[in-house]
């Protein structure tokens, strides 16, 4: 089983657990009021919560990987929201009208105001869930969480990995395809790259032109050398889709990467538009390493500092490129070219 499948199954499990608990809490209150039997209410809520969260969770996690699911996800925000609300709302209405949990525990199915209250609550809860879900896909799940919790309302220092992934040859391609064509080319690359980033628990900080900036807190990225695995996962995803790129754009995409690690200051900035940003020499140094990868025509270049911070990197081969004095730095920095043995 791939790392991506394991991650999706774990996520589905968490969604089902959360949905079951929400169902128990809601039905406990409703059934206690109507029947005076809290245990029965909890059982009914658990059944309904498990059914709905399992079905909706599976569609959100696995359904988006199908052609219809991808089409819905790539549609404008309100179209995606509307389609999902209609589909999930119909499922909720079916459960509320048929009452499988109530039938299983042998209670009489109530109609009228109780059923109407259940439908209203379910639709409101689903709409709120969908809105937050779609918003998290725009700003990033971790960024949304950090905003809500106020994690970076006051600036704080963190040790982080930064991986810059650049699309090679995009400037020449833009001359041939034009602005709209190169936009579609880069967007398809970014969409394909998102799954390896998620699989390796990375956080996409920015899309800058033809470049993706990915980051990990050092404690999160260290295990399993996740930044290295992420880069080569992106390479594999693009190779698997190379025939489609050649068919549609006349060229297979190729990426370069640079990896560095160190301390940064993280905090919220801005007024009418707020964002969580990183400040520190680490980003400048990673950019210089990316220039070095371009000069030496290497797929991935990493600083010795970043490699020392990684664990379980035995499956990667390192070639010492020597110590380089990068622009803006006084001291030479040991740099390595990293390749994958193909077994990862």
Residue 236: the pLDDT is 94
- Which is nearest to 58 in space by CA: 13, 18, 123, 114? 13
**φ/ψ (deg, to 5) at 146:** -65, -35
Note the pTM of the prediction, 2 decimals.
0.79
Q: What average pLDDT does the chain have?
A: 84
pLDDT at site 52: 85
pLDDT-derived band at 115 (thresholds 50, 70, 90) equals: low
Average pLDDT of the segment spanning 201-215: 92
pLDDT > 90 fraction of the chain, expressed in percent and rounded = 36
Whether the per-residue pLDDT at 103 is higher than 80: the answer is no
Is the model's pLDDT at 215 over the cut of 50?
yes
pLDDT band at 238 (very low <50, low <70, confident <90, very high): very high
Q: Find where tokens 């009228």 sit.
A: 112
Has residue 28 got a pLDDT over 50?
Answer: yes
Q: Which residue carries 């010795």 as its tokens?
A: 304
**Of 185, 328, 175, 153, nearest to 249 (Cα)?**
185
What is the homologous superfamily of the domain 143-340 according to CATH?
Nucleotide cyclase, GGDEF domain (3.30.70.1230)
How does pLDDT run across 132-175, given as a tens digit for each residue? 777 777 777 777 778 777 788 889 999 999 999 999 887 788 77
- Phi then psi dihedrals of residue 311, to 5 deg: -115, 160
Residue 86 has pLDDT above 90, yes or no: no
- The domain segmentation of the chain, as residue ranges, is 3-139, 143-340
Please tell me which residue, 321 or 140, carries the higher pLDDT value. Answer: 321
């Amino acid at each position: 089983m791939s790392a991506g499948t394991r991650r999706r199954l774990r996520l589905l499990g968490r969604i089902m657990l959360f949905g079951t608990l929400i169902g128990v809490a809601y039905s406990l209150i409703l059934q206690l009021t109507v029947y005076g039997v809290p245990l029965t209410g909890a059982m009914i809520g658990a059944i309904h919560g498990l059914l709905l969260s399992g079905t909706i969770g599976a569609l959100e996690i696995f359904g988006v990987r199908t052609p219809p699911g991808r089409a819905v996800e790539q549609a404008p925000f309100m179209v995606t929201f509307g389609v999902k609300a209609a589909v999930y709302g119909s499922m909720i209405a079916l459960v509320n009208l048929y009452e499988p949990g109530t039938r299983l525990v042998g209670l009489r199915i109530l109609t009228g105001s109780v059923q109407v209250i259940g439908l209203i609550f379910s639709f409101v809860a689903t709409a709120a869930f969908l809105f937050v879900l779609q918003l998290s896909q725009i700003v990033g799940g971790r960024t949304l969480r950090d905003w809500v919790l106020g994690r970076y309302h006051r600036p704080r220092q963190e040790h982080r990995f930064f991986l810059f992934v650049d699309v090679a040859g995009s400037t020449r391609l833009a001359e041939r395809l034009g602005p709209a064509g190169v936009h579609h080319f880069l967007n398809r690359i970014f969409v394909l790259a998102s799954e390896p980033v998620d699989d390796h628990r990375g956080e996409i900080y920015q899309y800058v032109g033809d470049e993706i900036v990915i980051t990990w807190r050092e404690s999160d990225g260290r295990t399993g050398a996740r930044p290295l695995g992420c880069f080569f996962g992106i390479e594999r995803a693009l190779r698997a889709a190379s025939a489609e790129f050649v068919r549609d754009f006349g060229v297979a995409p190729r990426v370069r990467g640079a990896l560095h690690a160190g301390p940064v200051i993280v905090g919220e900035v801005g007024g009418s538009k707020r964002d969580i940003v990183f400040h520190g020499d680490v980003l400048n140094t990673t950019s210089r390493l990316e220039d070095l990868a371009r000069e030496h025509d290497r797929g991935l270049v990493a600083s010795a500092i970043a490699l020392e911070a990684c664990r379980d990197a035995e499956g990667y081969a390192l070639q010492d490129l020597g110590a380089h004095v990068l622009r803006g730095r006084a001291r030479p920095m040991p740099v390595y070219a990293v390749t994958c043995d193909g077994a990862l």
